[in-house]
Amino acid sequence: MSAAPVVSLQGIATRFGSNIVHERLDLDVEAGEIVALVGGSGSGKTTLLRHIIGLTRPSSGSVRLFGEGLQDGPMRTRMARQRRFGVLFQHGALFSALSVGENIAFPLRELDIATDAEVRDLIALKLAMVEMAPEHAHLMPAELSGGMVKRAALARALALEPELLLLDEPTAGLDPDRSASFVELIRSLHRQLGLTVVLVTHDVDTLAALASKIAVLADRRIVSFAPMEDTLQVDHPFIQRFFRGEHGRRALRRNGLA
Amino acid sequence: MNASVQNQPPEIRVDSDAATVRLSGDWTLRALSGVIETIRKDLAAVPAEAAWSMDPSQRLDSFGATLLWQAWGATWPRLVEIGENQRRVIDRVSASAGRLPTAPDRFGLLDAITMLGAALLTFRAHAIDFIALFGRIFLDLAHLARHPREWPLLEISANLHKVGVKAMPVTALVGFLIGVVLSYLSSLQLKLFGADIFIVNILGLGIIRELGPVLVSVLVAGRSGSAMTAQLGVMRVTEEIDALAAMGISRTLRLVLPKVLALTLAMPLLVLWTSSVALFGGWVSAWVELDLSLGFFVETLPTVVPIANLFIGLGKGAAFGFLIALIACHFGLRVRPNTESLSANTTASVVSAITMVILVDAVFAIATRNIGVPV
């Protein structure tokens, strides 16, 4: 393991017309961390995540993954770099024309590296990793419940053995029970596979249970980047509202943090 | 994790005398992806009873583990010397390997019969739904006659603009070109017989009565029909239609009726417009080919083409417009929430609409065979 951070954002600025979303934003995520990105609605959390994925480009500033610029190098290098992270989109983004198994196999088949027998074993393995039964491989995404869609999408994100996992609102739309078990699942995968995880959330329960560090996005930049205990000490109106509000306090108490 | 630090290329060293296999390097998807062919060949060449060993510090991910597990024939070799972490990774693979059930995809006689039955039942469901929607439109109209304040005028005018005004350039272009081609080919033949002036009859009757309405219908089915199906389909996917129903608002009154009325109104106008442009195109070609003057063309047209043909053309336009919109809405409301269903229904909508238009056109041809044809 070398010192280069897995994700490194420097001097990010994002503008949509006259609307400035980010300005001089810096963030470094070290290997093995679980970083939660929190912020109010419209503060640009998801936009920042999309910068990291490479779906959008910031107006200025640099995005570096695994110590290399996101857009550096020829096409093949860039594509190889993109295979090093897996993304769980907010609504799963499973290909609705393919079954769950085919969804998981899709990136492997694109890479053309595994034999059919290996692909089948890998599908079964990834399904087991996200605590789904092998029989679920033949279901179509439209036949899955909300929680299952997230699990299946997570299995697909894990298909190419990513080193970095990017999660957009992983627990949004799940009931508290499912949400808690999904958080537990991510935590155990993190332990098993030694992943680095960046997640966007506004659920205090999720980040209290999961995050090793919290990046608070407010006033167009990261105002605090620290473990939970230290974040709570920061005197910023958004942080006070977010964690010290009625809902936040209850969630923290549930997780034994306040 | 620098590029230089990781990805030590995986290697296999076989000592055939001692019957040992030593795996070195990283056995990860990324490290393997460049050299997978050689690795596979090497793995296949390992003697059956060999003892396997792997340096515990090397990395092994689930792809590498699956590769090994397959090479071992889905069972642990007798002698393995690997690290605790690596053993755990392979254990996870072995726990789930081979458990994926095969997809039930065989096709037999029973399936063929089932499919035939399903197709018939689907057709029946389509027919019932379509008739219900058809009746619903008239019930809605009756409702609106009693409650004139509920007319969805805004939606109707928006749809008129979308399906009528915005369709004018493309229908004009196609109409003009068809007129030019038709006139050019006809005049070549007519010149042979010295029957030049009959070009007006051919163009007038052909375009006003037949070609204009059908041409516009095909264009509108492809352009507006597909758009209507896709719009309703997406609204179904995003539950907007359910939201309307939950507010106690009739989806046919707000979504279907405005589209059907707008297209029924817009189509005759589009037919008039397209036929005019097609006739103009026909004249241009006749002028070049036969030196026919515009004044003569305009003067002769009403005398050789009875006015009934214009009304038949416009009537057809209205009927086709009604059908296209109704079919488009019918398929749009049947979309289920996935991309496959959306594309299948949009295709079905356009194909059915064009087929229906041609069928109804044949009915019109038979029903009006004694009207407006000079003998």
Beta strands in A3-49 (DSSP E): 7-16, 19-29, 34-39
* Rounded-to-10 torsion of CA A128, B74, B60, A102: -40
Q: From the CA of A55, how many Å to the nearest CA of chain B? A: 22
Answer for the pair A148, A92: CB distance below 8 angstroms, yes or no.
Answer: no
> Is residue A110 assigned to a domain?
no
| Side chain identity at residue B37, one-letter code | E
Contacting residues for B157 by C-beta, under 8 A, at least 6 apart: B262
Q: What is the pLDDT of residues B209-244, one digit of tens each?
A: 999 999 999 999 999 999 999 999 999 888 888 898
pLDDT for the residue numbered B229? 95
- Is pLDDT above 90 for B122? yes
Contacts of A120 in chain B (CB under 8 A): 98, 100
Residue of A nearest to B93 (CA): A125
CB distance A96–B93 less than 8 Å? no
Q: From the CA of A2, how many Å to the nearest CA of chain B? A: 5
Question: Could you give the percent of chain B with pLDDT greater than 70?
Answer: 97
CB distance B1–A122 less than 8 Å? no
> Is residue A24 assigned to a domain?
yes
What is the C-alpha separation between B2 and B5, in angstroms, rounded?
5
pLDDT for the residue numbered B13? 83
**Given the structure tokens 């995880």, which residue do they identify?**
A197
Please tell me which of the candidates A2, A128, A161 has its beta carbon nearest to residue B61.
Answer: A161
Q: Which of B10-24, B182-196, B223-237 has the lowest mean pLDDT?
A: B10-24
DSSP code, position B206: I
What is the C-alpha separation between B144 and B186, in angstroms, rounded?
49
Alpha carbon of A239 to those of A200, B124, B135: distances in Å?
Answer: 16, 60, 59
Interface test with A, best of B61, B63, B90 (most A CBs within 10 A): B63
Contacts of B69 in chain A (CB under 8 A): 121
Which 3-state string (H, E, C) describes A168-223?
ECCCCCCCHHHHHHHHHHHHHHHHHHCCEEEEECCCHHHHHHHCCEEEEEECCEEE
pLDDT for the residue numbered A251? 77
> Is residue A70 assigned to a domain?
yes
Q: Measuring CA to CA, which residue among A103, A97, A22 is closest to residue A59?
A: A22
CB distance A142–B69 less than 8 Å? no
Task: Find the angle CA(B80)-CA(B86)-CA(B90) to the nearest 5 degrees.
Answer: 80
CB neighbours of residue B131 within 10 Å: 11
- Strands of the sheet containing A164-168, edge to edge, are A85-88, A164-168, A196-200, A34-39, A213-218, A221-226
What is the C-alpha separation between B33 and A108, in angstroms, rounded?
11
Contacting residues for A155 by C-beta, under 8 A, at least 6 apart: A100, A104, A126, A127, A129, A130, A132
Contacts of B99 in chain A (CB under 8 A): 124, 134
pLDDT for the residue numbered B324? 96
Contacts of B336 in chain A (CB under 8 A): 142
HSE, side-chain direction, 13 A CA sphere, residue B159? 27
**CA-based end-to-end distance of chain A:** 35
What is the C-alpha separation between A184 and A169, in angstroms, rounded?
15
Contacting residues for B204 by C-beta, under 8 A, at least 6 apart: B279, B301, B304, B305, B309
CB distance A163–B1 less than 8 Å? yes
pLDDT for the residue numbered B340? 79
Report which of residues B347 and B18 the model is more confident about. Answer: B347
pLDDT for the residue numbered B2? 40
> Is residue A31 assigned to a domain?
yes
What is the C-alpha separation between A225 and B371, in angstroms, rounded?
84
Report which of residues A9 and B268 the model is more confident about. Answer: B268
Rounded average pLDDT over B340-353: 92
Q: What radius of gyration do chain B's Cα atoms show? A: 35
pLDDT for the residue numbered A1? 46
What confidence tier does B42 reach under pLDDT thresholds 50, 70, 90? confident
Delimit the domains of chain B by residue range.
11-96, 115-367
Contacts of A78 in chain B (CB under 8 A): none
- Is pLDDT above 70 for B21? yes
CB distance A114–B66 less than 8 Å? yes
Dihedral sign for Cα atoms in the order A80, A85, A88, A90: negative
Contacts of B101 in chain A (CB under 8 A): 134-135, 137-138
H or E segment at B54? strand B51-54
Contacts of A5 in chain B (CB under 8 A): none
- Is pLDDT above 90 for B281? yes
What is the C-alpha separation between B301 and B204, in angstroms, rounded?
7
Q: A68-69 and A19-29: which strand pairing? A: unpaired
Residue of A nearest to B28 (CA): A161
What 3-state class would DSSP assign to B296? helix
Q: From the CA of A173, how many Å to the nearest CA of chain B? A: 15
CB distance A124–B96 less than 8 Å? yes
Q: What is the pLDDT of residues B282-293, one digit of tens each?
A: 999 999 988 889
Q: From the CA of B180, how many Å to the nearest CA of chain A? A: 45
Contacting residues for B114 by C-beta, under 8 A, at least 6 apart: none
**Given the structure tokens 């970095």, which residue do they identify?**
A164
What confidence tier does B4 reach under pLDDT thresholds 50, 70, 90? very low
> Is residue A2 assigned to a domain?
no
Please tell me which of the candidates A101, A113, A115 has its beta carbon nearest to residue B33.
Answer: A113
CB distance A115–B70 less than 8 Å? yes
Q: Which residues of chain A have pLDDT under 70?
A: 1-3, 257-258
Q: Measuring CA to CA, which residue among B140, B157, B133 is closest to residue B259?
A: B157
H or E segment at A88? strand A85-88
Range of the domain at A25: 7-84+162-254
What confidence tier does B358 reach under pLDDT thresholds 50, 70, 90? very high
DSSP code, position A143: G
Residue of A nearest to B7 (CA): A1
**CA-based end-to-end distance of chain B:** 89
- Strands of the sheet containing A68-69, edge to edge, are A19-29, A7-16, A60-65, A68-69
Contacts of B70 in chain A (CB under 8 A): 115, 117-118, 121
- What ipTM does the predicted assembly reach? 0.78
What is the C-alpha separation between A72 and B106, in angstroms, rounded?
48
Interface test with A, best of B99, B105, B106, B342 (most A CBs within 10 A): B99
H or E segment at A69? strand A68-69
Q: How far does CA B246 lie from the centroid of its chain?
A: 29
CB distance B66–A97 less than 8 Å? no
Task: Count the domains in chain A.
Answer: 1
Q: Which of B40-44, B134-138, B176-180, B216-220 has the lowest mean pLDDT?
A: B40-44
| Side chain identity at residue A138, one-letter code | H
Q: How far does CA B56 lie from the centroid of its chain?
A: 55
Q: From the CA of A1, how many Å to the nearest CA of chain B? A: 5
What is the C-alpha separation between A63 and A240, in angstroms, rounded?
30
Q: Which of A63-67, B171-175, B357-361 has the lowest mean pLDDT?
A: A63-67
> Is residue A176 assigned to a domain?
yes
Residue of A nearest to B90 (CA): A125
Q: From the CA of A124, how many Å to the nearest CA of chain B? A: 6
What is the C-alpha separation between B350 and B109, in angstroms, rounded?
32
pLDDT for the residue numbered B271? 96
CB distance A113–B61 less than 8 Å? no
What is the C-alpha separation between B279 and B234, in angstroms, rounded?
39
For every residue of B113-168, DSSP letters joined together read HHHHHHHHHHHHHHHHHHHHHHHHHHHHHHHHHH-GGG--HHHHHHHHHHHTGGGH
